[in-house]
């Protein structure tokens, strides 16, 4: 394979960025990626625009190991008598060079095992948060996106923020047999209250009905 | 949800019984015939629909040949700033491993190696939504902070080849002139046999014809 000069420069640029990210230095701003002005000029735009930025910084406080207290108001629980668990553990770590938080939550609820895997990111180009989850109950993926975020700042990393992301899914009957096969609107809200505590709520809106809270989780950081 | 008590069995009992039957269908080795969702056996009449509808079925069976470790021939055509009209950049130094997660509802795909002498990394999750009767595929990588989300057409079923569509807002991988624009995506998975398959990714730039962006040919690594 012949590599053209532009591609050799690209290779060099990618190597620089990979080295920066491999050093575990979390890159918050695009301008901090190259170490020299000359290197900055060589970094192709499609690489530079994909670097982690302020939107990712705002998620930094979600990283780590968390004790989860969950109340589930559908399926195995009801609004009056939620299924409750206090033995869930969520483990989150950055993957893809600090672009996505990988979340695995495991434990038990209502006497059965619980498993959910998700990844949470921030699309620089769309200026929005994106969240996808899979679990051990639903055969479909749950896909959520926020509205565009105006003016994400690096200082968001230290602020208490609420991130709201919406989507739809086709119900396999979680809400009721009557809603099986219907498209349901869903909304996840992450409320970061401190470095050591945050909450995640999940809401469903069946057709013709008001939005209802179906899952409330409180995350408390586990001490290492 | 207002589920009657009789329809709300012990989750542990339901999951245990159903997991055994599901796991048996995905036993290691050559792919076995996976039956569609079965009615619960006698004594488990209370298994609610929201559980049975989520069980792995024929769509998941169709994905079983993709599980394992793979050597990949990675051909770059119309992405990473290229238009697709040049000879491909090829890497033979790419490996993929895939395994079931989510009680065998999703395949987690991790692809690593080198491309043009630099490290590359991609992770994806591939599933089949029973209720939508379609395949679903999401990937993330170490270049794009945008998730690439592909969905099969509703009710397209577990047919071959597997075709899934999506779109993303380009940060320039489809060309500088595409920055900020929506680019159509299409992934096609062609499974030749238990030991060989191919993924193709196509871009549809606004006002342009669809072009091949990536082709990956997978050959099973013997265990």
Residues A61-119 have pLDDT tens digits of: 999 999 999 999 999 999 999 999 999 999 999 999 999 999 999 999 999 999 999 99
Residue A33 near residue A20, CB atoms below 8 Å: yes
Residues of chain B with Cβ-Cβ distance to A177 below 8 Å are: 49
> Which residues have a Cβ under 8 Å from the Cβ of A129 and sit 6 or more positions away?
A55, A59, A120, A121, A122, A123, A145, A146, A149, A163, A165
Q: With CB atoms and an 8 Å threshold, state whether B11 touches A110.
A: yes
Residue B11 confidence (pLDDT): 53
Which of B5, B11, B23, B75 is the best substitution to test chain A (most A C-beta atoms within 10 A)?
A: B11
Q: B171–A125: do the CB atoms touch at under 8 Å?
A: yes
pLDDT, tens digit, for every residue of B32-77? 323 233 444 454 568 899 999 999 999 999 999 999 999 999 999 9
Find the residue in B nearest to A47 (Cα): B143
What the block records as the tokens of B206 is: 């606004």
Whether B11 and A74 lie within 8 Å, measured CB to CB: no
* Cβ–Cβ contact B130 with A under 8 A: yes
DSSP letters along B162-211, please?
Answer: EEEEEEEE-SSTT-GGGTTSEEEEEEEEEEEETTEEEEEEEEE-TTS-EE
| Alpha carbons A113 and A81: distance in angstroms, whole number | 19
**Residues paired with residue B139 on neighbouring β-strands, in sequence order:** B124, B148
Q: Is the Cβ pair B145, A136 closer than 8 Å?
A: no
Structure tokens at A177: 């047999």
Q: Nearest 5°: CA angle at A224, between A72 and A191?
A: 40
Chain A contact set for B121 (CB, 8 A): 96-97
Task: Find the helix or strand (DSSP H, E) in which B60 lies.
Answer: helix B58-63
* B84 pLDDT tier (thresholds 50, 70, 90): confident
Which chain A residue's Cα is nearest to B2? A78
The answer, yes or no, to whether residue B209 has pLDDT greater than 50, is yes
C-alpha closest to that of B39 among B25, B53, B20, B19: B53
Q: CB contact, 8 Å: A56 with chain B? A: yes
Q: Is the preceding omega at residue B59 within 30 degrees of 0, hence cis?
A: no
User: Which positions in chain B touch A117 (Cβ < 8 Å)?
Assistant: 101-102, 125
Tell me which DSSP letter residue B48 carries. -
More confident residue, B6 or B118: B118
With CA atoms as reference, report the closest residue to A125 among A144, A99, A143: A99
Domain map of chain B by residue range? 5-55, 62-220
Summarize the confidence of residues B5-21 as an average pLDDT: 45
B49: which chain A residues are within 8 Å (Cβ-Cβ)? 172-173, 177, 180
According to the model, what pLDDT value does residue B46 have?
80
**Rounded average pLDDT over B88-94:** 96
Task: Give residue B41's pLDDT.
Answer: 47
The token pair at B54 is 């989520």
Q: Is the pLDDT of residue B94 over 60?
A: yes
The shortest C-alpha distance from A19 to chain B (Å) reads 10
Fold of A56-221: Lipocalin (2.40.128)
- Provide the chain A residues 25-54 that lie in CB contact (below 8 A) with chain B: 44-47, 49-52
A111 → closest Cβ in B11, B140, B169 = B11
- At residue B79, the pLDDT reads 83
* Interface contact A80, partner B, CB < 8 A: no
What's the rounded Cα separation, in Å, for the pair A222 and B17? 33
Which residues of chain A are modeled with pLDDT < 70? 1-41, 151-158
Supply φ then ψ for residue B3, to 5 degrees.
-95, 135
Residue B107 three-state SS: strand
Q: Which residues partner with B164 through β-bridges?
A: B187
Residues of B in contact with A11 (CB under 8 A): 116-118
Q: By percentage, how much of chain B surpasses pLDDT 70? A: 80
CB within 8 A of B189, min separation 6: which ones? B66, B161, B162, B197, B198, B199
Written as six digits, the tokens of B187 are 């992934």
* Cα–Cα distance measured from residue A94 to residue A16, given in angstroms and rounded to the nearest whole number: 20
CA atoms within 13 A on the CB side of B112: 6
The interface residues of chain B toward chain A in range 40-99, judged by CB-CB distance below 8 A, are: 48-51, 53-57, 59-60, 80-81, 89-90
Contact residues for B78 (Cβ-Cβ < 8 A; gap 6+): B84, B85, B174, B203, B211, B212, B213
Strand-pair partners of B91:
B74
Instruction: State which residue of chain A sits closest to B125, comparing Cα positions.
Output: A134
- Residues B104 and A186: their CA atoms lie apart, in Å, by 24
pLDDT value of residue B222: 92
Asked if A76's CB is within 8 angstroms of B8's CB, the reply is yes
* A124 lies within 8 A of chain B by CB: yes
**A73 neighbourhood in chain B, CB within 8 Å:** 1
Superfamily name with CATH number, domain B62-220? Calycin beta-barrel core domain (2.40.128.20)
The token pair that represents A207 in the structure block: 């057709």
In sequence order, which residues have a C-beta less than 8 Å from that of residue A31 and are 6 or more positions away?
A40
Give burial (CB, 10 Å; 0-12/13-18/19+) of A98: buried
> Helical H runs in chain A?
5-22, 37-42, 45-48, 54-57
SS3 A154: helix
CB B72 within 8 A of CB B94: yes
Judge whether A139 and B56 are in contact, CB under 8 Å.
yes
Res A153: pLDDT: 64
Q: What is the predicted pLDDT for the residue at A157?
A: 67
pLDDT band, residue B78 (cuts 50/70/90)? confident
Q: Does A143 touch chain B (CB under 8 A)?
A: yes
What pLDDT does residue B35 have?
Answer: 28
Residue A84 near chain B (CB below 8 Å):
no
């Amino acid at each position: 394979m012949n590599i053209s000069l532009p591609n050799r420069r690209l290779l060099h640029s990618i190597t620089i960025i990979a080295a920066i990210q491999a050093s575990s230095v979390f890159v918050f701003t695009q301008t901090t990626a190259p170490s020299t002005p000359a290197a900055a000029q060589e970094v192709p735009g499609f690489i530079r625009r994909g670097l982690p930025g302020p939107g990712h910084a705002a998620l930094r406080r979600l990283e780590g190991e968390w004790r989860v207290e969950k109340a589930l108001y559908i399926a195995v629980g009801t609004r009056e008598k939620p299924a409750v668990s206090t033995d869930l553990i969520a483990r989150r770590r950055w993957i893809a060079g600090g672009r996505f938080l990988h979340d695995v939550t495991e434990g038990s609820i209502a006497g059965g095992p619980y498993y959910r895997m998700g990844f949470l990111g921030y699309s620089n180009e769309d200026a929005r948060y994106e969240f996808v989850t899979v679990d051990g109950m639903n055969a479909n993926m749950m896909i959520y996106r926020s509205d565009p975020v105006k003016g994400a700042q690096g200082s968001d990393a230290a602020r208490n923020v609420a991130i709201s992301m919406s989507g739809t899914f086709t119900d396999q009957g979680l809400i009721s047999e009557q809603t099986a096969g219907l498209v349901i609107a869903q909304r996840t809200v992450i409320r970061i209250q401190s470095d050591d505590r945050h909450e995640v709520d999940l809401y469903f809106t069946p057709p013709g009905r008001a939005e209802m809270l179906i899952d409330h989780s409180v995350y408390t950081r586990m001490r290492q | 949800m207002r589920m009657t008590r009789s329809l709300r069995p012990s989750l542990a009992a339901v999951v245990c019984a159903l997991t055994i039957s599901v796991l048996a269908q995905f036993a290691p080795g050559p792919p076995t015939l996976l039956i569609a969702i079965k009615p619960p056996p006698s004594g488990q009449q209370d298994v609610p629909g929201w559980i049975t509808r989520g069980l792995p079925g024929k769509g998941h069976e169709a994905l079983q040949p993709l599980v394992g470790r793979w050597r990949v021939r990675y051909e770059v055509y119309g992405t990473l700033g290229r238009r697709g009209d040049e000879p491909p950049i090829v890497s033979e130094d790419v490996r993929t491993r895939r395994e079931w997660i989510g009680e065998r509802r999703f395949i987690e795909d991790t692809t690593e190696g080198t491309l043009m002498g630099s490290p590359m990394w991609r992770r994806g999750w591939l599933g089949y939504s029973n209720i939508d009767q379609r395949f679903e595929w999401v990937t993330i990588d170490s270049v794009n902070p945008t998730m690439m989300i592909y969905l099969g057409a509703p009710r397209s079923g577990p047919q071959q080849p597997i075709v899934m569509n999506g779109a993303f807002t380009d940060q320039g991988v489809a060309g500088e002139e595409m920055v900020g624009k929506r680019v159509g995506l299409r992934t096609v998975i062609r499974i030749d046999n238990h030991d060989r398959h191919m993924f193709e990714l196509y871009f549809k730039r606004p006002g342009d014809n669809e072009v091949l962006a990536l082709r990956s040919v997978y050959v099973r690594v013997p265990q």
